[in-house]
A and B are shown apart, each in its own frame.
Chain A
Amino acid sequence: MGLDDPLPIQYVEWIGNFLRGDWGVSLVSGENIRERFLAKMPYSFSIGIIGILMGAFFAFFLGYRAALNRSGLCDRLTTAMTIFCQSIPMFIVSILIINAFGVRLGIASFFTGDGRYSIIAAILLTAIYSLGGLSRVVRSAFREEMGKSYVKFMVSRGFEPKTVLWKHAYKPPLASLVSAVITRFAGVFGGSTVLEFAFAIPGLSTMLVSAMDSRDYSILQTYILVVVIWMFFVHMILNLVLQMLGARRDA
């Protein structure tokens, strides 16, 4: 079995098997790890990717509006959302949502049924908790552009600031947003533990915590490699986007 080989050789062999599709079996249940990952990945993917992209999408518009009108409604709203997300843990909001819609009003079944309510709630919460911080990043970037001479020049020529920003100054804020989103994508695998626990969603985070609890090293090892590969592709795709936006990235 090669168990007496040096650890680096064992690891290289394991990676070789991994790349050929043989991810091994769980040390605890004996189940095929690849099958388990593939069964649970859609839950974590849908929560993570859709939530973050939805958050980023709305963050761009909110940040844009906040930059246009300093201390205006959108500016205050994004500040309030940032403080809210930093001060109130996600699990409390999750419990409140379940309590309101599931227990009190009884209009949503979060734990049984087809699971749509729990997934939708988890996606929305991911989006909302991304929205505050990302919108402030966009706002700052737009404000920075507003101070630049090409924007000042166009405004002095009689163009509306909102038109100038939207049509000619969107790339740097968008690049800032993409850069901020990259780090958040690291949490797509295993980063939604709170939501998966609160809504009893059988995603990768639940599996990861369970594997840690039972010292299932074969699952943990697989998880680490999957995250490395995932982040490699995230960086590759989003760096492509950054290049399209003309933003320079050294890393």
Chain B
Amino acid sequence: MKKRLVLLLTGIIALAMILAGCGGSDNGGASEEATADGPIVIGCSYVAGNTNPVDSAWDLTSHGISEGIYMQDAEGNLVSRFVSKLERKDDLTWKAELTNAVKFSDGSDCDAKALADCMNYLQKNNEMANGTAGVVKFTAEDDGTLTIVTERPTPVMDSLLAEWCNVVFKEVDGDFIYTGPYMVKKLDSEVSLEMEPNPYYDDRAEQRSDVTLKVFSDAAAMQQAFEAKEIDLMFGLTPEVAETLKGEGFTVKDFDAGYQYFGFTNVKKGPMADVNVRKAINLILNREDMVTALKAGRVANGIFAQYYSFAGDVEEKTDAAEAAKLLEGAGYSKNADGIYEKDGKKLSIHMVTYSARADLPILMQLSASELTEAGIESKTDIVDDINASLEGGDYDLVFYAQHTAPSGEPSAFLNMALAEGGSRNYAGYNNDKINDLLKKMGETEPGADRDQLSKDIQKIVAEELPIIYMVDPQWHVALSERVANYEPYCGDYYTVNAELGL
């Protein structure tokens, strides 16, 4: 009997060991440690699921594998390695002269035909590519000239070509190849991505090291890996972790996120439907305290990062006395407990946010305590799917984060959030002045006039408050000595840029 039991137990353990062995010999692909001559290991919270440009264009560009025809530089300007001159011929037609200096990672030329082929493929297979100007048709006139015809007029073709979905690629035997500074060596979806330098990107390819992106589901684990010198770069640091690492002598940099932290107000129903209540709340929230709590960033002056020429010039202030007057003007008065109420009903603000952006719950809790101090009750919720909450309408104020100018121009976000029927205009805000300005913006070429239109819209928003501006954030990144000179920019849109490790 004992023998049979021992045999059974041994069999089960052996089976488990065999299965364990099938798991491969590496720890999720990051098989080489962060050593001076090994790959640069980056800790992050995701990697691309596959290398298909329709599914993973955003991820691949963020990883440094793919490129848009236009990309943002560190100052927020749109630049292109592909196009030397972009000229508008008529309302719908553009002509692009190419540099012909770019090659795919297999060494083949990225000429006009290659560009036209991949752009037309994306227009057909990714409906996001049709969002700005309808269906766009690309035609190669010769090796160095591309004609672009849009379905609807747009004054900002460079921005259209900078949209994250429009990446340059080529399909070879079922595989996709790109033009970015790195190319895929081994992809283990949701686990890790090993990359090697693209030898045809520029003349510095030999100076670049291999790069491994390693996914961590837990920020504490990523911090431990960084402290143990197993990773070189750590993105997504919370303010506390950034401070801890700085205190331990590690290099931690703050960089402009491009993202903005702001609040969507419910202008359709609830107490915030009253503009005076919105104004009062806006005056109670202390943006300086928010910046202090996040340990980096600036008080927002609009809805765009302040390095853009079209950023706002709104000055946010905190004024409790003025807020009290506004609330009294709206019919609220303080009860015996010091809480504002109207017709026997307490003024209570339902604030909602999500945990994926760790800074937002901090801002929400801070705001809740400021509202309490001012005599306003609040209820806070942290949800998984914030867009479902916004669509459901069960909120008064939603704390939100978004890169509001990923293609380097303002009209996309402003239309999305403020135009009637806009995909981010959850509360159905509608303002004739803003609609007119948006229409004008859609007809104005980039430049000072267009920037002014953007500023004018942001000013009206600051008065009407369908959106409450909060923080123009800076994010934190921890760097090992090996990559201490690396300067990330544009938030997580370009996690790996061509300067990594150089």
B residues in contact with A109, CB < 8 Å: 33, 228, 230
Nearest-CB residue, chain A, relative to B384: A213
A237 to B34, CA, bound (A): 44
Least distance between B363 CB and chain A CB atoms (Å): 22
A residues in contact with B50, CB < 8 Å: 29-31
Cβ–Cβ contact B228 & A110, under 8 A: yes
Q: How many A-B residue pairs have CB under 8 A?
A: 156
* Selected contact of A241 from candidates B8, B31, B221, CB within 8 Å: B8
B window 18-53: CB within 8 A of A: 19-28, 30-34, 41, 49-50
Taken residue by residue from 177 to 210, chain A's Cβ proximity to chain B (1 for < 8 Å, 0 otherwise) reads as: 0000000000000000000111111100011011
Residue A114 lies at the interface, judged by CB distance under 8 Å to chain B: yes
Binds A, one of B186-194, B279-287, B450-458: B186-194
Residue A15 lies at the interface, judged by CB distance under 8 Å to chain B: no
Given contacts A29-B50, A30-B49, A43-B23, contact A112 B16 (CB under 8 A): no
B residues in contact with A213, CB < 8 Å: 384
* Selected contact of B230 from candidates A28, A110, A198, A201, CB within 8 Å: A110
Cβ–Cβ contact A113 & B221, under 8 A: no
* Selected contact of B26 from candidates A115, A174, A197, A210, CB within 8 Å: A115
Cβ–Cβ contact A112 & B189, under 8 A: no
Interface centre among A57, A98, A111, A118 (most CB of B within 10 A): A111
Cβ–Cβ contact A42 & B12, under 8 A: no
Taken residue by residue from 226 to 237, chain B's Cβ proximity to chain A (1 for < 8 Å, 0 otherwise) reads as: 011111000000
Given contacts A103-B228, A110-B230, A112-B34, contact A200 B55 (CB under 8 A): no
A window 21-72: CB within 8 A of B: 26, 28-31, 36, 38-43, 45-46, 49-50, 53, 57
Cβ–Cβ contact A110 & B8, under 8 A: no
Residue A119 lies at the interface, judged by CB distance under 8 Å to chain B: yes
B residues in contact with A161, CB < 8 Å: none
Residue B13 lies at the interface, judged by CB distance under 8 Å to chain A: yes
Residue B224 lies at the interface, judged by CB distance under 8 Å to chain A: yes
Least distance between B37 CB and chain A CB atoms (Å): 14
Least distance between B388 CB and chain A CB atoms (Å): 10
* Selected contact of A113 from candidates B31, B190, B191, B222, CB within 8 Å: B31
Cβ–Cβ contact A113 & B27, under 8 A: yes
* Selected contact of B218 from candidates A45, A110, A200, CB within 8 Å: A200
Given contacts A98-B221, A106-B228, A198-B221, contact A42 B21 (CB under 8 A): yes
Residue A102 lies at the interface, judged by CB distance under 8 Å to chain B: yes
Taken residue by residue from 142 to 175, chain A's Cβ proximity to chain B (1 for < 8 Å, 0 otherwise) reads as: 0000000000000000000000000000000010
A57 to B26, CA, bound (A): 28
Least distance between B354 CB and chain A CB atoms (Å): 11
A26 to B55, CA, bound (A): 13
Cβ–Cβ contact B188 & A202, under 8 A: yes
B window 431-452: CB within 8 A of A: none
B residues in contact with A228, CB < 8 Å: none
Cβ–Cβ contact B12 & A53, under 8 A: yes
A196 to B31, CA, bound (A): 17
* Selected contact of A200 from candidates B32, B188, B215, B229, CB within 8 Å: B215
Nearest-CB residue, chain B, relative to A213: B384
Given contacts A42-B23, A43-B23, A46-B19, contact A241 B5 (CB under 8 A): yes
Nearest-CB residue, chain B, relative to A215: B385
Residue A95 lies at the interface, judged by CB distance under 8 Å to chain B: yes
Given contacts A42-B19, A118-B27, A197-B218, contact A111 B231 (CB under 8 A): yes
Least distance between B19 CB and chain A CB atoms (Å): 4
A163 to B114, CA, bound (A): 82
Cβ–Cβ contact B5 & A119, under 8 A: no
Residue A221 lies at the interface, judged by CB distance under 8 Å to chain B: no
A103 to B220, CA, bound (A): 13
Cβ–Cβ contact A112 & B55, under 8 A: no
Given contacts A103-B224, A197-B221, contact A115 B28 (CB under 8 A): yes
Least distance between A13 CB and chain B CB atoms (Å): 26
A207 to B220, CA, bound (A): 18
Residue B217 lies at the interface, judged by CB distance under 8 Å to chain A: yes
Cβ–Cβ contact A112 & B231, under 8 A: yes
Cβ–Cβ contact B49 & A201, under 8 A: no
Given contacts A29-B49, A103-B224, contact A45 B19 (CB under 8 A): yes
* Selected contact of B217 from candidates A98, A99, A210, CB within 8 Å: A210
Residue B214 lies at the interface, judged by CB distance under 8 Å to chain A: yes
A residues in contact with B13, CB < 8 Å: 49-50, 53
A window 87-141: CB within 8 A of B: 95, 98-99, 102-103, 106, 109-115, 118-119
In the assembled complex, 18 residue pairs joining A and B whose CB atoms fall closer than 8 Å, in A order, are: A31-B50, A42-B19, A43-B23, A45-B20, A50-B17, A53-B13, A53-B16, A102-B224, A106-B229, A111-B216, A112-B225, A113-B27, A115-B25, A174-B5, A200-B215, A201-B28, A202-B191, A207-B190
Q: Top 10 A-B pairs ranked by shortest CB distance?
A: A115-B27, A46-B20, A42-B23, A29-B49, A49-B16, A102-B228, A111-B225, A202-B28, A197-B218, A202-B191
Please report A residues at the B interface, Cβ cutoff 8 Å.
26, 28-31, 36, 38-43, 45-46, 49-50, 53, 57, 95, 98-99, 102-103, 106, 109-115, 118-119, 174, 196-202, 206-207, 209-210, 213, 215, 237, 240-241, 244-245
